[in-house]
Amino acid sequence: DSGVTQTPKHLITATGQRVTLRCSPRSGDLSVYWYQQSLDQGLQFLIQYYNGEERAKGNILERFSAQQFPDLHSELNLSSLELGDSALYFCASSVAPGTEGTIYFGEGSWLTVV
């Protein structure tokens, strides 16, 4: 158990809908990262937050947004969902900002868009 908690574990929704994925980082970790894993694209970096502020941005679509709250949990919002958004979405956390330390992954949220 990495200490990173993601909910929900599985989610099935229809095209055009909006979903929210939630992440609680490890106790004491200030950085949160979001990744999308699909068969054809591998593990894609979406976005990173550190202590409530956006730190780095990757290949995150405009239909997607994220935030980190004062209690350090984070949410990834996916809207106007398309079939191609079906993937495993990972949250990870670390103590340090940037790339300095080990990042710990949650078990992921499986999203299926039908």
Partner 1 sequence: SQQGEEDPQALSIQEGENATMNCSYKTSINNLQWYRQNSGRGLVHLILIRSNEREKHSGRLRVTLDTSKKSSSLLITASRAADTASYFCATGRRDDKIIFGKGTRLHILP
Give the interface with partner 1 as residue ranges (CB under 8 A).
2, 4, 33, 35, 42-43, 45, 48, 55-56, 58, 88, 90, 92, 97-108, 110
- Separation in Å, CA 74 to CA 8, 40, 83, 106: 13, 26, 24, 12
Q: Which is nearer to partner 1, 31 or 78 (CB)?
A: 31
Read off the DSSP letter of residue 84. Answer: G
Q: Which is nearer to partner 1, 82 or 100 (CB)?
A: 100
Collapsing DSSP states into helix, strand and coil, what is residue 85? helix
Q: Which is nearer to partner 1, 3 or 84 (CB)?
A: 3
